[in-house]
Structure 1
Amino acid sequence: MPLHINTPLLESRPLSLAAGRSIWLKMDALQPPGSFKIRGIGAACEHHAKAGKRRFVSSSGGNAGIAVAYAGRRLGMPVSVFVPETATELAKALIRQEGAEVIVHGASWQEANERAMSALDADTAFIHPFDDPLLWTGHATMIDEVVAEGLSFDAVALSVGGGGLMSGIVEGLARNSLAHIPIIAVETEGAASLADAMEAGQRVQLPAITSIATSLGARIVSERAFEVTQTQSVDSVVVSDHAAVEACLRFLDDHRVLVEPACGATLALAYSHMDALSRYNRVLMIACGGATASLAQLQAWHTA
């Protein structure tokens, strides 16, 4: 039995009316740890457990760390998650709630990741938050489920941080003979490392992450994610933090589900960036979720 669940596929009447076209939601915000991350991370953890590893180490300021902690608890494996100083108290509490150890190190994810790598030994598996083929294969199950339900769609909209979700969706499309379907890759201003890479024609590193959507806060996208932009049809869209937060609040009213700004960035396409969808009739949106933003925090951001 996999660690993730098959999530609902919903036609969103509110988003469809707002966007002027049919919007379908893959509701991975309803995964047990709160985000899509458990699909790939769960698959990776199960792989390493079967290979004889006895401990998991990860580096994440949020959803990936929560997913590793959840997988470790379910598999009976100890977990250590290295988080940067910018990790929220809520994120740390949710990781600890799953029984994992939290180690705070460094000003950014890169520094926390370097410290995590130094904590490995022969019995320990490192679970990367986004850059691992095991993760991509797990994330691809989203498309398997959509296809199994018989839905046809002419674009997939998703949020991009390090690029693990996009890499997985592309793999899922390919294995279901849908490689021709375009991707709409959404980022927030201040975390748009994919958009910058596409403009430059090569991967570039952002000097800093200034977006509140810290789950999208990879200063450089994975090599695989950039490769996808060279071989697939990928539309890059960058939205403001305000648009992402407002989308989260509207989505809460429309669907009674709380997501964080990293997910709100994609939802903002329907609410405020409809032009980005103008070429498509039926769009599959990945409601990727996110557990590290509270309602109070969203409201504070919205009024700031």
Structure 2
Amino acid sequence: MPEIRSAVSMACVLRDPCQNVHHGIGCGDHHSLQTCCAIAEKIRTFSSIALPVWAPARMRNDDAKVIEFEPGFGNTRACARQSRAYGQHADGTKGLYMHWTQDISTAETRIRPYIQRTPVIETTSFGFEHPITLKLEHMQHTGSFKARGAFNTLLGGSVPDAGLVAASGGNHGAAVAYAAQRLGFRARVYVPEIAGPAKIALIRACGADLEVVSGAYANALEKARAYENETGAMQVHAYDAPATIIGQGTCFAEWDAQGLEADTVLIAVGGGGLIAGAMAWYGGSKKIVAIEPETSSALHAALNAGAPVDVEVSGVAANALGARRIGAICYQLAQAQSDMVMSLTVPDDAITHAQQRLWQERRLLVEPAGATALAALTSGAYQPAVGERVAVLLCGGNIAPDPLEVPHAVV
């Protein structure tokens, strides 16, 4: 899959209100595509136009990158929304509309022999009037959903002789190390000191060549990129790469196959790979609520600013949700589905309280990041409407310190 360098801003539709973007603002007029293309020739601010493959040449604006789609795959408006999230390839060729659901379904089959089908429970715990559904993805290999994206990346591409390299706050590094060991590849992993001894020990136990760096995730990513450039190793991005997002999307394909009937899904957000997988799979068919710690809220800040921005990172969940900037693909998907995506933040004490209640009431032991989505419910930050069916994803279980760590273990 070619690397995405820049996001497509918007697309145009036929016989629907125009959805091209001029200076970042939706056009919205009820005029034809021909009219909008004529406007584009004067304004010249389009980055892309979505067209059916049968559209005549006169409809195509030379200054816009044309995104073709096959008729019959949903409607043109859906295509326009999805096409926002795909961009120009590193080789300069035009971007094509990505069939997210098709790719996720293919990935689910590809990685099925290597990942754990995680259980789902319905519970009336936590003082709620109505039951909620929990998916226990913290029971995935290496303790988080990250194994899905790692296996999809490794199985879907050609791994060079130099092996793999990844930067991680902890969980992604463990997943890459585990997948590499399982498939017989070498892996170098860079993690920041805030990853903590439990996650560092897990990565080492999975056989990776590990280097701990000072600072936060962004500092580890700089090291990983330098190693990639020096050696030719394959970079496995933690959240902002199509193969990673498609892999994470298999969690929701699996959940649907398990009979998910919820109207709304609450998901914790760090760099955005997991929630991007959810948005890619559901395509606006479910309400998705993004939950972030107040002290590490890259998506929330980006949506408020109208573009990805750097944020300060700290707090109890920072070693899992502490991305300094939201991934570009996640941001574009959230923008494209803004009518079905809500962003909320919760304080650290709400996260630790939800973590405690998961253990006390359901005997589920998760790390702070794994309890962050539930914290929106237990704290009242998100209050479902009457009759609204709600589901929560528990994303990680690598708590620190490890409660059953062997004394005097070398980490």
TM-score after normalising by structure 2: 0.66
Mind listing any 5+ residue stretches in structure 2 that lack a counterpart?
Answer: 1-111, 404-411
The Cα of 1:78 is off from its aligned counterpart by 1.7
Q: Which has the larger radius of gyration?
A: 2
Does the 8 Å CA contact 1:62/1:292 hold for their aligned counterparts?
no
Q: Matched residues in 1 for 2:382 and 2:258: separation?
A: 28
Change (3 A) 1:53 1:182: farther
1:60 partner letter: S
1:276 is aligned, of 367, 371, 383, to 383
Instruction: Tell me if 1:246 matches 2:353.
Output: yes
1:37 is aligned, of 146, 155, 158, to 146
Mind listing any 5+ residue stretches in structure 1 that lack a counterpart?
Answer: 297-304
Q: Matched residues in 2 for 1:289 and 1:100: separation?
A: 20
Greater Cα shift, 279-288 or 163-172: 279-288
Q: Matched residues in 1 for 2:377 and 2:279: separation?
A: 22
SS state at 1:118 partner = helix
Greater Cα shift, 58-67 or 6-15: 6-15
Equivalences for 1:10-89 in 2 at 5 Å?
10-15=121-126, 18-48=127-157, 50-52=158-160, 55-89=163-197
2:221 is aligned, of 113, 136, 160, to 113
Q: Matched residues in 2 for 1:267 and 1:56: separation?
A: 34
Q: Which residue of 1 aligns with 2:33?
A: none
Instruction: Tell me if 1:184 matches 2:289.
Output: yes
SS state at 1:293 partner = coil
Q: Matched residues in 2 for 1:19 and 1:94: separation?
A: 35
1:258 is aligned, of 357, 365, 373, to 365
Q: Which residue of 2 aligns with 1:211?
A: 315
Q: Matched residues in 2 for 1:204 and 1:239: separation?
A: 19
Q: Matched residues in 2 for 1:137 and 1:261: separation?
A: 25
Q: Matched residues in 2 for 1:293 and 1:54: separation?
A: 32
Q: Which residue of 2 aligns with 1:147?
A: 256
Percent identity between matched residues is: 34
Q: Matched residues in 2 for 1:123 and 1:274: separation?
A: 45
1:65 partner letter: G
Greater relative contact order structure (CA < 8 Å, 6+ sep):
1
Q: Matched residues in 2 for 1:53 and 1:267: separation?
A: 42
Does the 8 Å CA contact 1:63/1:290 hold for their aligned counterparts?
no
Aligned length: 288
Which structure has greater helix proportion?
1
Instruction: Tell me if 1:193 matches 2:298.
Output: yes
What is the aligned-residue RMSD (CA, Å)? 1.9
Change (3 A) 1:136 1:21: same
Instruction: Tell me if 1:234 matches 2:345.
Output: no
Give deviations 1:203-252, integer Å, cap 9, x for gaps. Answer: 1111x212221111011101112112212111111111111011111101
Q: Which runs of 4 or more aligned residues in structure 1 lie more than 6 Å from their structure 2 counterparts after TM superposition?
A: none
Give deviations 1:13-50, integer Å, cap 9, x for gaps. Answer: 214xx2323311111011121001111112112223x5
TM-score after normalising by structure 1: 0.88
